[in-house]
A and B are shown apart, each in its own frame.
Chain A
C-alpha cells in the first residue's frame, strides 16, 4: 500500500464517524463494566449517550454521497449516501428505544450482573448493521452480516436460566449459520464468475451479454437466502416464530425492526446496484435480464404475507403472533421493492418509519404487560382493557396501526405502497396485498376483543406501569396518530432519502 492510498484511508475516516463512535462506546462499555463491577446502572445511560452522539453525526452527514475507503485501483468498500444514512438513523432510533426498553424489562433486569455484556453485544450488532447498510462489497456484506448475527445469537439466549431462551438461541445459531453458509456459497460463485466482489464493478462486468445465466441465477438466489433470513421472508422465515417467542422481548423488538431494516437496506442496495441497467425519467428501474428479480420478489412477498397472516390466525401467544405478523410485514415491504421504481422505495422507507414506531410500541406494551402478569398468552389478556386501560388503549392504537387502518401511521405506509403498486399497474398484486390486510385484521382485532370484550375468569387487579414507561408508551403512541393525520414530514424524509450512490 503506497502512501497515497494511506491518505485515502485516513481521509475516509471522517465519513465513518458514527461507526467510530459506536466502536468507541463498545470499548467504554467494557471498561466501565470492568471498573465498576458492583454498580451497573450507568451502562444504559452511556449507551444512550453514545447512540445520541452517533445520531448527531448521522444527521450531520445526511446528504453526503460518496465512497469511503476508495483506492486508486478499486472502488470503495463502504458507501455513505442518503439512503444508507436514513437506515442508520432508523437503526440508531430503534437502538435508543430498545436500550430504554431494556432498562424497564424484568427479563433483562434479572440478569443484572451481565448488563455489561448485554449492551456490549448490542453495540456489536449496531456497528454490524451500520456496515450492512453501507456496504458496497460482498466481503464487507458478509462480514457485517456475521457481525450482526453472532451477538444476536447470544442476546436471544441472554437470560440463561430460561429454557425457552436457550432453545431460541440454539436454533437461531444453527439456522443462522446455515443461512450464512449458503450465502457465502453464492458470493463465492459470483466472485468465481466475475473476479470481483465490488457491487459496482460486478455491475459493469455483467453488462456483457454472454453471461452464464443459470450460474448467476443460482448465485443470486443463494445470496438472497442469506438476506431473506435476515428480513425473515418466507420461505426463509422458519426461525422467526421460535426465536421471537423465546428471546427476551426487547431483543425480539430489536430483531424485528433494526436487523430487518438493515436486511432491507442491504437487499435494496444489492439488487439495485448490481443489476441495474438504467432508470427511466419516471423513476422505474430497468434491470439486467440475468435474473428476473421482479417475479422472484413478487412470489417471495406474496408467500411471506400470506403465510405470515394465515399462520398468525391460529396463534395464542401474542409474541408469536407478532412474529408471524412481522413476516407478513416483510412481505408487504418486499412489494415496494418488487415495483422496481424509486416510488416503491419511497413507499418502503415510509412504511419502515411507521413500522418501526408501531412495532416497537406494540412489543413494548406486550413487555410491560408481561412484566406484570408474567405471561404473553392471549388468554391472560382477557379484561386487560379494564384492569390497565392506558396500556390497553395504547396497544389498541399500535395494533390498529399494524393493521393499516386510518388515522394511523400504518395506514400511511400501506397507502403509499398501494399507490406505488397501482402506479406500476400491478393491480393484481395490490389486490392480493389488500386481501391479506383484511386477513390480518382478524388476528389483530382478536387481541383487542380479548382485552376489551372478554371477561377474565379470575379477578385481575388494576395495574399499570411505572411513570417513565407510561411516558414512553405515550411518546410512541402519539406519533402513530399524529403521523396518521399529518404525514407530509414522513413523505418528505423518505423522498430525500432514496438516493443511492451513483444512481
Chain B
C-alpha cells in the first residue's frame, strides 16, 4: 500500500510540476495585467510603476525563477487584484466548492445508485421507463437553463427558496438541486447498465435459486460487483465539481473556485490562477487515491 501511495504521489507530483510550467508560461501569453488593472487613461509612468511593482518588467524566465523559489517556501504569491495572498483567496473559495461538491455528490450517489439498481431489477417496467426518461433529460439539459428556470419558478414564482447567495441552509437548495440533475442522470444510467449485467450473472442466479430475498440480491450480491464502473463515473463527476461549477456558481452568486478561476484568468491575476490550479489538482489527486482504495474495498482481487 505504501509503495502504491508513493508511486501515485510521485506521478501526480510530476504531472503537477508540468502543469505549473505550462500554465505559468501559457497564462503570460494572454498579455500584460497592467492593461486590465489600470484605467485606459493611466499615464505611461503609472503603467511603468505598476509593472515594476509587480515584477512584470523582468524577463519571463526570471519571473518563473522567482515564482518557483517562492513556491518552495509555500508562498504562492499575491493576488494583484485583491492585494492578498493568492493561496488565502483560493482556499476561501475552495472551501465553498468543496462543500458544494461533497454534499451534491453524496446525494447524487445515494439517489442514482438506489434508483438505478431498482430500475435494473425490472428492466422495461414502468419504474425503469420513468427513471430512464427523466435521467436522460437530466443528463442532457443545460445547467444555465435549469438554473434560471429554477429561480423563476421556485424563488420568484413560489417564493419557496431564495434566488441566490449563501446565507442560510435554504440558499443551498437551488444550487445543489441544479448540480444534482446532470450527474444523477448519468450515474443512474451507468448503475442501471452495470446492474443489468450483474443481475444476469451466474452468482445472482444462484442466489435467487437459493431463495435469497430480492432486496438482498440487489443491494448485497449484485450491487457490490456492479459498483466498480459506477465509482469511476462518480469520481469523474466529482472531479468536475471540484474544479468548480462555473455556471452554477455565477448564476447563484456562489463564491466557489470555478468562478474565481475564470475571473482570475480574464483579469490576468496569474498568482490566483496558479494557486487555484494547484489546489484543485491536489484535491483531485487525493480523490483519485480514495477511489483506488474504494476499488480495493469492493473487489478483494484488487490489492496494492
| A and B assemble together | no
Residues of A within 8 A of B (CB): none
